[in-house]
């Protein structure tokens, strides 16, 4: 009986581990983790640990050499340095989609890209109309953003109730939206100190070096990342937000692998026989000959060289961003102390952000894609109804990460930032609930 109970216990434990591992690897988990960190930030910011929470992010982290300090506040390390890694991954994703994915051709890209354009223009217009003539008008970029992790997490949780084509549409729209957000950050939110042309010229020269490395066939990612650090410093001091350097670096990362697939296949086909021929004595021990060790080492090296550098870097960064950088950003930025007096009536920040995300996003996406199809520019994906498009537009109203990031750039006042963050959290929650509920009741088209 004890043996049987132990067997059942082992099977249950093993199954639990497999289920937990599968859940952790699921794309929807990153959105759930983000939400959990945001909730934790709000709880801690309004608890007895509140003072410690806000003190922590303003502490300096670095080293001193003589009278000079080299480093940043912890908050700046997260928002400027770690988020540059996140933007590097976003840039790699955009480049991959433009070259090989759903943004690779006009017909494939037109429908979601025009939808993304509508999802940026209409929310920005709503916010601007409500805040024109006030000191808060430049927050128009806040409701323009879509958080792909949250939006995709919600739509994946719906499972088979939504067509796969809609999931592809939302992902493609979010990628195009990220590109739009990058353009807005680079152009609309320069440093208050203005542009420094000498550093900007230095950044252009470094980008030239990266392009030259790509053109001359350099494939070592370490070289690109090292030059990318220099580019980050130049852009950081130029007056443009430093995360733009990461996007520029991503666009310079090479596509072509060092070894072509056909050559690697030839190696794989010859390896077993060569490996067997070297084992002339048919030994049964675990030791390999020097020649066999050389073959295995060659295979390990070539298995890296045959991989696409861009995809290899994107694959390496994805878990770091999903499970470390984005949750840490959420925990560091979503906390707002609402126990005291929060001036929610600062201009119309709250109303502009809320209506921009909850109303402007779905309205803009639906309107622009509808006109796009009626004008014959592009067609709606097969099996996707206009109800699905509107529901996906609602999920596009989940701004969170990008919206909070933009709010930090748009406002210098801590009170304005707090109002914007509360509005983003409220609007994103409402958009997610409305979008998931709406899509749960939308039926597929009859011809799907």
Each residue's pLDDT tens digit, 150-163: 777 777 777 777 88
Residue at token pair 């000498």: 198
Domain presence at residue 388: yes
Q: Which of the listed ranges 144-153, 275-284, 421-430 does the model predict with the highest average pLDDT?
A: 421-430
What CATH code is carried by the domain that includes residue 115? 1.20.1530.10
Domain presence at residue 378: yes
pTM comes to: 0.77
Q: Give yes or no: residues 296 and 252 share one domain.
A: no
Confidence of residue 175 (pLDDT cuts 50, 70, 90): confident
Q: Give yes or no: residues 368 and 388 share one domain.
A: yes
Domain presence at residue 268: yes
Cα distance between residue 287 and residue 303, in whole Å: 23
Q: Give yes or no: residues 367 and 434 share one domain.
A: yes
Query: How confident is the model at residue 7, as a pLDDT?
Result: 47
Each residue's pLDDT tens digit, 359-372: 999 999 999 999 99
Query: How confident is the model at residue 114, as a pLDDT?
Result: 93
**Mean predicted confidence (pLDDT) in 204-223:** 92
Each residue's pLDDT tens digit, 134-144: 988 989 999 99
Query: How confident is the model at residue 280, as a pLDDT?
Result: 56
Query: How confident is the model at residue 423, as a pLDDT?
Result: 93
Query: How confident is the model at residue 157, as a pLDDT?
Result: 74
Residue 111 has pLDDT above 60, yes or no: yes
User: How many domains would you assign to the chain?
Assistant: 2
Query: How confident is the model at residue 19, as a pLDDT?
Result: 47
Share of the chain above pLDDT 90, in %: 30
Residue 355 has pLDDT above 90, yes or no: yes
Query: How confident is the model at residue 217, as a pLDDT?
Result: 86
Q: Give yes or no: residues 383 and 268 share one domain.
A: no
Cβ-proximal residues to 319 (8 Å cutoff; 6+ apart), any chain: none
> Count of CB atoms within 10 A of residue 260's CB?
12
Q: Give yes or no: residues 267 and 321 share one domain.
A: no
Domain presence at residue 210: no
Residue with the bigger pLDDT between 393 and 266: it is 393
Cβ-proximal residues to 72 (8 Å cutoff; 6+ apart), any chain: 60, 61, 62, 80, 81
Domain presence at residue 66: yes
Each residue's pLDDT tens digit, 300-347: 666 666 778 888 899 899 889 888 998 898 898 888 887 766 677 788
Residue 287 has pLDDT above 80, yes or no: no
Residue with the bigger pLDDT between 75 and 171: it is 75
Q: Are 150 and 431 in contact (CB under 8 A)?
A: no
Q: Give yes or no: residues 37 and 93 share one domain.
A: yes
Q: What is the mean pLDDT of the chain?
A: 82
Identify which of 180, 83, 194 has the alpha carbon closest to the alpha carbon of residue 140: 180
Q: Give yes or no: residues 50 and 168 share one domain.
A: yes
Domain presence at residue 206: no
Taking each helix axis as running N to C, give the angle between helix 243-252 and helix 221-238, from 0 to 180 degrees, rounded to the nearest 10. 150
Query: How confident is the model at residue 27, as a pLDDT?
Result: 55
Q: Give yes or no: residues 298 and 408 share one domain.
A: no
Cβ-proximal residues to 410 (8 Å cutoff; 6+ apart), any chain: 138, 139, 141, 142, 189, 420
Q: Give yes or no: residues 274 and 339 share one domain.
A: no
Q: Give yes or no: residues 335 and 270 share one domain.
A: no
Residue 23 has pLDDT above 50, yes or no: no
Show the tokens assigned to 284.
Answer: 């049964």
Q: What is the largest CA-CA distance in the chain?
A: 87
Q: Give yes or no: residues 358 and 300 share one domain.
A: no
Q: Give yes or no: residues 331 and 296 share one domain.
A: no
Q: In which domain, by residue range, is 175 found? A: 23-189+241-256+308-441
Residue with the bigger pLDDT between 107 and 228: it is 228
Domain presence at residue 344: yes
Residue 53 has pLDDT above 80, yes or no: yes
Share of the chain above pLDDT 70, in %: 81
Query: How confident is the model at residue 232, as a pLDDT?
Result: 94
Q: Are 241 and 185 in contact (CB under 8 A)?
A: yes
Residue with the bigger pLDDT between 150 and 95: it is 95
């Amino acid at each position: 009986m004890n043996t049987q109970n132990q067997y059942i216990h082992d099977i249950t434990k093993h199954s639990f581990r497999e289920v937990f591992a599968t859940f952790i690897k699921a794309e929807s988990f990153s959105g759930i983790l983000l939400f959990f960190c945001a909730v934790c930030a709000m709880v801690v910011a309004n608890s007895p640990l509140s003072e410690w929470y806000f003190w922590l992010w303003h502490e300096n982290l670095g080293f001193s050499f003589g009278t000079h300090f080299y480093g940043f506040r912890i908050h700046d390390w997260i928002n400027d340095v770690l988020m540059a890694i996140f933007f590097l991954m976003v840039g790699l994703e955009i480049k991959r989609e433009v070259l090989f994915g759903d943004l690779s051709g006009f017909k494939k890209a037109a429908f979601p890209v025009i939808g993304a354009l509508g999802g940026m223009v209409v929310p920005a217009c709503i916010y601007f109309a409500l805040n024109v003539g006030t000191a808060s008008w430049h927050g128009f970029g806040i409701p323009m953003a879509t958080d792909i992790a949250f939006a995709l997490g919600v739509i994946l949780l719906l499972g088979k109730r939504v067509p796969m084509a809609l999931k592809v549409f939302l992902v493609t729209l979010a990628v195009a939206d990220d590109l739009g957000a990058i353009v807005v950050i680079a152009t609309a939110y320069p440093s208050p100190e203005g542009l420094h042309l000498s550093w900007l010229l230095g950044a252009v020269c470094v980008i030239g070096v990266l392009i030259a490395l790509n053109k001359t066939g350099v494939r070592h990612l370490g070289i690109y990342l090292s030059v990318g650090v220099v580019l980050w410093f130049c852009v950081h001091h130029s007056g443009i937000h430093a995360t733009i350097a990461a996007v520029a670096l991503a666009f310079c990362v090479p596509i072509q692998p060092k070894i072509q697939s056909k050559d690697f296949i030839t190696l794989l086909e010859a390896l077993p026989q060569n490996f067997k021929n070297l084992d002339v004595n048919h030994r049964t021990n675990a030791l390999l000959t020097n020649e066999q060790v050389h073959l295995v080492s060659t295979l390990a090296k070539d298995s890296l060289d045959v991989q696409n550098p861009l995809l290899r870097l994107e694959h390496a960064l994805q878990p770091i961003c999903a499970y470390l950088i984005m949750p840490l950003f959420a925990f560091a930025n979503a906390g707002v102390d609402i126990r005291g007096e929060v001036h929610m009536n600062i201009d119309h920040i709250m109303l502009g952000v809320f209506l921009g995300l909850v109303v402007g996003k779905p309205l803009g996406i639906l309107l622009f894609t509808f006109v796009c199809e009626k004008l014959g520019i592009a067609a709606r994906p097969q099996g996707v109804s206009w109800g699905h498009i509107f529901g996906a537009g609602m999920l596009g109203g989940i701004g969170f990460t990008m919206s909070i990031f933009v709010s930090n750039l748009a406002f210098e006042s801590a009170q304005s930032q707090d109002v914007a963050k509360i509005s983003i959290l409220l609007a994103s929650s409402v958009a997610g609930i409305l979008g998931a509920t709406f899509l749960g009741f939308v039926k597929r088209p009859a011809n799907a």
